[in-house]
Chains A and B, each alone.
Chain A
Amino acid sequence: MVGEKKWVPYTLLIPWIIGFLLFKLYPFINSFFMSLYQTAGRRSTFVGLDNYKLLFDASGYIGEQFQNSLKVTFNYVFLTVPLILVVSLLIAYVLSLKIKGVGFFRTSFYMPTVLGANIAIVILWRHIFEYNGLVNQALGIFGIAPISFLGTAAGAMGTIVLLRVWQFGSTMLIFLNALKNVPESLYEAATIDGANKARQFFSITIPMITPIILFNAVMRLVETFQVFNGPALITNGGPANSTRVLNLLIYEIAFAGGDLNLGAAMSWILFLIIMLFTLLIFRSSKYWVHYQD
């Protein structure tokens, strides 16, 4: 409606503007400046790129830890994201077919997402995967020797990945919604042409929902690069640093260790990495995403 007081939109946007300036722009810029200093007690001195040099000096302990964390985080991300996408899409597809009691199933798949991020559940996960925990006892029933999940690098990583993949519910709901929006007419036409269900899935369903796949992939990517709760509470970065993801290392150095400047430098590297991969995915989307319009 034109002619109304011009200042109304701006006034109403003041909270967001303050939010953006104070809680986004300011910390974004400040974190870069913080990374250029080093602090001893109450004194800060400008050191230029020394913090970054420390991070990339593999011969030093900090550098070694940083590189390890990069590797660990990449492992986690590139295991978890594809798994989530595949599992949630599959289950969403099955649910989109005519299923009795779909409401029950939908809720039960979504439950872990709601509860799973809770600290209580994270701790439960550790108890489940301990050497004499629930899973090993279950294996014992089948006569399988206990596996040391938390004592081996692969096992520990698997435990954390599993915790996140267990919570595929929200991604599944988004896929479910997208699947519903694929026009029935396309399927009908394909059936008439003689294509079976599997063929239809790969030639119709998937291409039609590629925008949603893109959306989910990017959202999950950004989120998994910043994982914290699992590695912190279940494995505490172990065993032998095999699950010390970047966010955990940043926490240990910046907050537990008190070196905010080095932490800021690490956050910046993490940020650049996330932005890089997000950009890569978006760039690649030209080749595989089909938009409706």
Chain B
Amino acid sequence: MKKFILVFILITLTLSLMACSKETDDATISFAWWGTSDRNIATYAAIDLFEQKYPQYKVEGEQSPWSGYQQTLNNRLNRGTEADVFQVNYNWIYSMYGVDYFMDLNDLGLDFSKYPEHEHDPLTVDGKVLGLSISETGYIFYLNKKVYQDAGITVLPRTWDELIAAGETISQETPGNYALGRLDAQQVSMMMWSYLAQTTGKNLINEDNELNFTLDEIIDAFNFISDLRSSGVLIPSNAIDTHIDGPTNPNWTSQKYGGIMQWNTAVSEYENTLPNSDENLVMAGMFQQELNEQLGMYKKVSMAYAVSGRVAESDAKKEAVKTFIEFMTTDPEAVELLGVDRGVSSNTDTQEILRLSTIKDFENSLEWKGHEIVQAYYDHQLTLNQELYIHPYYEHNTFRAIYESPVESFLLGNITARVAAQNIVNRFNSELSRIMEG
């Protein structure tokens, strides 16, 4: 046994020395992102291309599934072992103390001139730009034409009333089908805030970081959801469909559910699981109160590239990282490879490359169409003095439960609209201020 221990210790030491000697030098860039097969394949291809064009650099790509990415990143940031360049969600810049650990991209010498003027304002803290916007995104509807056609509907709904009428038709003609189907708490919450933005013109959270809606307004939104559930738009209760994952839900793949509400940058997952999706899945924007309005559109930076504070210490490293990021975002071949899977970039040069591309018709992709509507509606709202940018802490892990939890209980039929609304109102402000302080 003693010999065992001795040998074990020796082996460990040797191996750990081997492990330790692997250090990242200035010519190696480590890059971490999350994604599914398509994105991973495209990213690796772009990385290979980069190494070909710039043979003096090496890139260590680290793919990761979405689940657990945040935990790992958080963990590595705490120890200072994060990758050089890493993909982040917009709100992580705040919740992960970006101002302490991320590098100021102004320092990197990146060209921000091709981006809209205020694109990077939400990513700027204390004057430091902590992330490079990859794309903007909005939460919109996509409809499966086939479900509507099967019920004899040829013109897709554009207003809520038309949607409700469609729901009733669908449930009569094709029982078991729904105009939309199953939406989870996250999606229903967003739908409620969009609806309320249309009726009240207000953002969910005001500049004082407080809830902007009154109790009655929220109850009204819940009642609206009930209307959708009783008219065949949504399933009557989330208890009858417990399949949590949207894209693989058998009701979606067998085309019983007529639509989804999703970030326009994340629609490809739903596209991929549908048969004949290129014919049937249609971008439907945001349903309106009245025809020809353009309201209720929230948006945010979907994801950004952040750079580790470590990189600032070496000029050579900064140069390497700068070259890599510029390559991934503006190099024509790379841009075509990466496509619109991470959304449509706000960089005008990049958009031009995508428009002129002969490989794929990016402009007709669901992501692009969604992007156009999001931007159009959002700009229109600005003319009406409505600023519906998504608050940086809206999607914070523990904070989001404040609104998603009551909504989920409501969707399961466990509590009434009034109780759910009261729950939200009671907790909202206190939790938000607690989270923002910590």
Report the bound CA distance from A39 to B427 in whole Å. 23
Stretch from A115-123, A250-258, A283-291 that touches the partner: A250-258
Contact A130 B412 (CB under 8 A): no
Shortest distance between the CB of B236 and any CB in chain A (Å): 12
Residues in chain A near residue B375, CB distance under 8 A:
none
Report the bound CA distance from A15 to B70 in whole Å. 36
Say whether A12 faces chain B, with CB atoms less than 8 Å apart: yes
Report the bound CA distance from A41 to B77 in whole Å. 8
With contacts A61-B431, A131-B240 known, is A239 near B412, CB below 8 A? Answer: yes
With contacts A61-B401, A240-B405 known, is A258 near B74, CB below 8 A? Answer: yes
Contact B78 A42 (CB under 8 A): yes
Contact A148 B438 (CB under 8 A): no
Say whether A151 faces chain B, with CB atoms less than 8 Å apart: yes
Contact A61 B427 (CB under 8 A): yes
Say whether B383 faces chain A, with CB atoms less than 8 Å apart: no
Contact of A238 among B101, B408, B438 (CB under 8 A): B408
* Closest B residue, CB atoms, query A256: B71
Residue interface bits B232-254, CB-to-A below 8 A is 1, else 0: 00000111111110000010000
Shortest distance between the CB of B405 and any CB in chain A (Å): 7
Shortest distance between the CB of B78 and any CB in chain A (Å): 6
Report the bound CA distance from A262 to B243 in whole Å. 32
Contact B97 A151 (CB under 8 A): no
A interface, over-half SS: loop
Report the bound CA distance from A131 to B152 in whole Å. 29
Report the bound CA distance from A79 to B306 in whole Å. 49
* Closest B residue, CB atoms, query A129: B242
Say whether B16 faces chain A, with CB atoms less than 8 Å apart: no
Say whether A60 faces chain B, with CB atoms less than 8 Å apart: yes
Residues in chain A near residue B244, CB distance under 8 A:
236
Say whether A75 faces chain B, with CB atoms less than 8 Å apart: no
Contact A131 B243 (CB under 8 A): yes
Report the bound CA distance from A149 to B101 in whole Å. 45
Shortest distance between the CB of B31 and any CB in chain A (Å): 22
With contacts A240-B408, A240-B409 known, is A151 near B2, CB below 8 A? Answer: no
Contact A239 B239 (CB under 8 A): yes
Shortest distance between the CB of B233 and any CB in chain A (Å): 19
Residue interface bits B400-432, CB-to-A below 8 A is 1, else 0: 011001001100101000000000000100110
Say whether A177 faces chain B, with CB atoms less than 8 Å apart: no
Contact A148 B242 (CB under 8 A): yes
Say whether B106 faces chain A, with CB atoms less than 8 Å apart: no
Residues in chain A near residue B397, CB distance under 8 A:
256-257
Report the bound CA distance from A240 to B237 in whole Å. 13
Say whether A205 faces chain B, with CB atoms less than 8 Å apart: no
With contacts A61-B398, A239-B412, A258-B71 known, is A41 near B243, CB below 8 A? Answer: no
Say whether A185 faces chain B, with CB atoms less than 8 Å apart: no
Residues in chain B near residue A153, CB distance under 8 A:
414
Residue interface bits A1-40, CB-to-B below 8 A is 1, else 0: 0000000000110110000000000000000000000101
Say whether A179 faces chain B, with CB atoms less than 8 Å apart: no
* Closest B residue, CB atoms, query A132: B250
Say whether A241 faces chain B, with CB atoms less than 8 Å apart: yes
Contact of A151 among B237, B398, B401 (CB under 8 A): B237
Shortest distance between the CB of A99 and any CB in chain B (Å): 39
Residues in chain B near residue A256, CB distance under 8 A:
68, 70-71, 397
B interface, over-half SS: helix
Contact B430 A149 (CB under 8 A): no
Residues in chain B near residue A208, CB distance under 8 A:
none
Residues in chain B near residue A238, CB distance under 8 A:
408
Contact A152 B239 (CB under 8 A): yes
Instruction: Give the number of chain A interface residues (Cβ < 8 Å).
Output: 32
Contact A15 B1 (CB under 8 A): yes
Say whether B434 faces chain A, with CB atoms less than 8 Å apart: yes
With contacts A61-B398, A257-B397 known, is A148 near B75, CB below 8 A? Answer: no
* Closest B residue, CB atoms, query A151: B239
Report the bound CA distance from A62 to B427 in whole Å. 11
Report the bound CA distance from A292 to B380 in whole Å. 85
Say whether A163 faces chain B, with CB atoms less than 8 Å apart: no
Contact B402 A61 (CB under 8 A): yes
Contact of B240 among A61, A151, A241 (CB under 8 A): A151
Shortest distance between the CB of A171 and any CB in chain B (Å): 30
Contact B242 A150 (CB under 8 A): yes
Residues in chain A near residue B431, CB distance under 8 A:
60-61
Contact B71 A41 (CB under 8 A): no
Report the bound CA distance from A152 to B238 in whole Å. 10
Shortest distance between the CB of B430 and any CB in chain A (Å): 7
Residues in chain A near residue B237, CB distance under 8 A:
151
Say whether B384 faces chain A, with CB atoms less than 8 Å apart: no
Report the bound CA distance from A62 to B2 in whole Å. 49
Residue interface bits A225-247, CB-to-B below 8 A is 1, else 0: 00000000000101111000000
Report the bound CA distance from A256 to B72 in whole Å. 9
With contacts A61-B402, A151-B239, A152-B239 known, is A258 near B409, CB below 8 A? Answer: no
Residues in chain B near residue A40, CB distance under 8 A:
97, 438
Shortest distance between the CB of A216 and any CB in chain B (Å): 33
Residues in chain B near residue A146, CB distance under 8 A:
240
Contact A60 B434 (CB under 8 A): yes
Report the bound CA distance from A130 to B101 in whole Å. 43
Contact of B412 among A65, A149, A151, A255 (CB under 8 A): A151
Contact B2 A11 (CB under 8 A): yes
Residues in chain B near residue A151, CB distance under 8 A:
237-242, 412
* Closest B residue, CB atoms, query A42: B78
Interface centre among B68, B96, B405 (most CB of A within 10 A): B405
For the complex of A and B, the 3 pairs showing the least CB-CB separation, nearest first, are A151-B239, A150-B242, A41-B97
Q: List 10 A-B contacts (CB under 8 A).
A: A41-B96, A42-B78, A131-B242, A150-B242, A151-B241, A152-B412, A241-B405, A256-B70, A258-B71, A258-B74
Given A41-B77, A258-B78: 13 more A-B contacts, CB < 8 Å? A12-B1, A40-B97, A42-B80, A131-B240, A146-B240, A148-B239, A148-B242, A149-B242, A152-B239, A236-B244, A239-B408, A240-B408, A240-B414
